[in-house]
Structure 1
Amino acid sequence: MDGKLREFVTRHTAHHVPIALVTSGGTRTPIERNCVRYLDNFSTGTRGSYAVEELLKRGYAVIHLKREGSVSPLGRIIADVIKCERGGLSFDSVGTLFDCKLDDDVDMERSSEDDAVQTESSADSWMYFSSRENRSGNNGRRISRPSRRRGGLVSLNERVADSPLVQSTLRMYREIKMNGTLLTVEFLYVDEYLDKLKMCCEAINTSGSLALVYLAAAVSDFYIPKEKQATHKIQSRDYGINHQSGSKDDRDATIRLDPDNTLQLTLYPVPKVIPSLRRDWCPNAFVVSFKLETDFTILQQKQVLAMKKNDVQMVIGNELATRYEKVFILTRDGAGGKYFEEEGIESKLLDDDGYRVAEVTAAQGHTNSSLFCGDKIAALEHATIDYVVKRHFFYISSNTGNKQSAAGLVSAVAMEASSVHEQGLEDAQKQLQRDRLKAKAVELAWNVAGSALGMALSYTIAKIMQKNNMK
């Protein structure tokens, strides 16, 4: 994975494409090494998946560090269309996705239709034709395409396939795949998340100020370190069963079952890695962290504390009750009171240290785009990412004099890409030489074998003729 990350970053940074690392979903904390029980949170990764889509639309190449099984970009749209549950396809969503018919219905349809019959549809032509001429010649018109039912018992429901939302999603998917602008890295447990976050940050370090780190994952605050976890499943009561080791149980004092069968767990704070991220892993990146609280006053104080302690460029605050309606974005003014001002979004200076908070709402997202059809989360994330991206570009322009400026880093990465390309050519030449030597060796072997076979045949024929002459 480390090689894929570096290749992804090198390829896009060499073309001056901004790189975004987006984390999403919640981390799981096991309490047993052979995990049966664990601590978890309710994060589904929805907001992170929206952020990935919005950043891709704005020209970013995105590394998505997501929780296994959490909401996926674009996939969430298809899931909404077919009314898919979080755990997978529900019974009803199967019928929404597929046009299922009984055997009698299929037989009647086969007898009344020829397999080559063409059906009319208002679907986008790009889904059915590959030539540019066919695609451009059918804009806005009903087109003919092969029937989806070709003798099978089920077919794709046309209401899904012909949905404008599904078609636009598939167009975006195809563009992402063609340009290779999305790389997904998955995690499950909190230790795994921390390790992969470090790996991803070190990979994007070469992008300098072009890199954006969007830390939307819900990371556990407390966990049980692996060396302090129970080895086997924790029993619900003390049965007096001895393990193979001869001890009653192998739990550390961290996990204790009292005589009244009350389970006592000692949880330890998860290591805070944002300071290391800012100082060592990718010090020139634009870093956005998140805070979620149930009280607005506490939220604002925690945002300021987080910015002071972690030295991040932005802290996005969510109040639990209104987290899908508005966010509070904390930034800090630059030298001489220089700050970024976004039209239509008011910001308030909190103190003399330059800490400034802006309130971004879903209504502002609806104002900027009419595509969300009442989807509050989509509208809010659209407005939020719009603010983040503009602030990121402001940050890039403010760091052009830095020794590790974007242009300088692009040049360095371009040289690295050139070096990788030259190494690839050299390896290809060596492989070609090996293939040629192998081909010559095979040819020589065949020649030797042919000569030996010819000599053997000549000898055999001579012997046969000699015997015949003697007779």
Structure 2
Amino acid sequence: MAASTQFSAESYFATQPPPPSLEHDVAAVRDFIGRQKERGRKVVLVTSGGTTVPLELNVVRFLDNFSAGTRGATSAEYFLQAGYAVVFMHRQFSLQPFSRHYSHSTNPFLDFLEIEKTNSSGDSDLSHADISVTPSKRPDLFEVLKAYKSAHTLDLLHTLTFVTVNDYLWLLRALSQELSALGCKALYYLAAAVSDFFLPRQRMSEHKIQSGKGSLLIEMDQVPKILKPMVDEWSPDGFIVSFKLETDPELLIPKARAALERYGHQIVIGNDLHRRKFEVVFVSRTKHEDPISETWLRIDPHTTDSRGHPKEIEEDIIAQLVKMHDAWIAAKP
């Protein structure tokens, strides 16, 4: 196997092919951004879900990152409530805004529907039957459906998908460059779980890796760090929020601070794997020369909202980010 290579963002895009649908996807986002710019809206790019690393060109085996896309899908809804237009870039088949409420096995959508048969229809004749929603489930479903319809009627939500880390990197670069037309009104909420290592296309097996040869040794290359060119080149006026997930709480703040120092963006949201639903820390600074600050957001795991549902920490995360983004916009000349 050929020796590994240290990829910069520039060398990565020069050697790894773009996904086939890139031009089509970017054109659709460009049109969406253009409409939002005419209306004077703030736009957020939310990335969500995990990326895969294929091990073959004809993919059978791949490495995957742990993520159902819960934080991204939930956050997108709160951004919409705050008046943002949302470009939701998510892993194929991961959770999406609104439908996420009925995607889990503990809340299956079909259990909320009932078949109402007319008196004349037999058990096997459903041609004249009606479908209704279980009365106890109607209030919640009505609120979700109303928000979903409103987002689409008002042209506030555009979705597109990725699967591999290569898809993700190409899309992120292209969409950042398109969103740069909005200047400081563009917000980037990078909640996707992105692979740290990948196998360059030039070193992939064309066909399925065979198991008959015994053990398998694969040397992978580090995925290039794309936050720096994003800050410096692709969208220099954008408000960029990245995430840092750790399993060791002692590493969380030091690594979040190091990321902020290294890339020069605005905020790192740190979360511990086991407390991420109830506690996050904002590690941030407005200007590169400003001191780094740390702000903790915590919720009681037993807190409920006005409808009796468990409170979602994303509500507080987005409320805080909206304030910080507005201050960022106001400070721009």
TM-score bucket of the superposed structures, by smaller chain: 0.7 to 0.9
Give the alignment of 1:87-126 within 5 angstroms.
94=110, 96-100=111-115, 106=117, 109-110=119-120
Give the alignment of 1:219-368 within 5 angstroms.
219-238=194-213, 261-332=214-285, 334=287, 354-363=291-300
When the two structures are superposed, what TM-score results if normalisation uses the length of structure 1? Answer: 0.61
**Maintained 8 Å contact 2:74/2:97:** yes
Give the alignment of 1:27-426 within 5 angstroms.
27-79=51-103, 83-84=107-108, 94=110, 96-100=111-115, 106=117, 109-110=119-120, 152=127, 155-159=130-134, 163-238=138-213, 261-332=214-285, 334=287, 354-363=291-300, 370-371=305-306, 373-376=308-311, 378=312, 380-399=313-332, 401=333
Between 162-171 and 14-23, report the one with greater CA deviation: 162-171
Structure 1 residue runs of 4 or more that deviate by more than 4 Å after TM superposition = 333-336
Shift of 1:77: 1.6
Distance 2:284 2:230 in 1: 18
**Maintained 8 Å contact 2:44/2:86:** yes
Counterparts in 2 of 1:215 and 1:264: CA distance versus 1, 3 Å: same
Query: For residues 130-165 of structure 1, what are the alpha-carbon distances to aligned partners after superposition, in whole Å with 9 as ceiling and x for unaligned?
Result: xxxxxxxxxxxxxxxxxxxx9537643421696111
Distance 2:100 2:89 in 1: 16
Shift of 1:228: 0.7
Tell me which protein shows more helix as a share of its residues: 1
Query: For residues 94-151 of structure 1, what are the alpha-carbon distances to aligned partners after superposition, in whole Å with 9 as ceiling and x for unaligned?
Result: 4x144248xxxx57x2279xxxxxxxxxxxxxxxxxxxxxxxxxxxxxxxxxxxxx95
Distance 1:111 1:155 in 2: 11
Q: 2:163 is aligned with what amino acid?
A: L
Consecutive unaligned residues of structure 1, counting only runs of 5 or more, are 85-92, 113-149, 239-260, 337-352, 402-471
Shift of 1:397: 0.7
**Maintained 8 Å contact 1:100/1:153:** no
Q: 1:275 is aligned with what amino acid?
A: K
SS in 2 for 1:14: helix
Counterparts in 2 of 1:54 and 1:73: CA distance versus 1, 3 Å: same
Counterparts in 2 of 1:160 and 1:190: CA distance versus 1, 3 Å: farther
Shift of 1:200: 1.0
RMSD over equivalenced CA pairs, Å: 2.5
**Maintained 8 Å contact 1:98/1:155:** no
**Maintained 8 Å contact 1:24/1:45:** yes
Q: Which structure carries more relative contact order (alpha carbon 8 Å, separation 6+)?
A: 2
**Maintained 8 Å contact 1:25/1:67:** yes
Distance 2:133 2:106 in 1: 12
Q: How many residues align?
A: 307
Q: 1:158 is aligned with what amino acid?
A: V
Larger radius of gyration: 1
SS in 1 for 2:96: coil
Distance 1:4 1:293 in 2: 35
SS in 1 for 2:321: helix
User: Equivalent pairs: percent with the same residue?
Assistant: 32
SS in 2 for 1:233: coil
Distance 1:210 1:32 in 2: 40
Distance 2:129 2:104 in 1: 21
**Maintained 8 Å contact 1:82/1:97:** no
Shift of 1:355: 1.0
Query: For residues 333-381 of structure 1, what are the alpha-carbon distances to aligned partners after superposition, in whole Å with 9 as ceiling and x for unaligned?
Result: 5599xxxxxxxxxxxxxxxx61111110124995xx83363424x2x00
**Maintained 8 Å contact 2:266/2:286:** no
- Is 1:23 aligned to residue 47 of structure 2? yes
**Maintained 8 Å contact 1:303/1:330:** yes
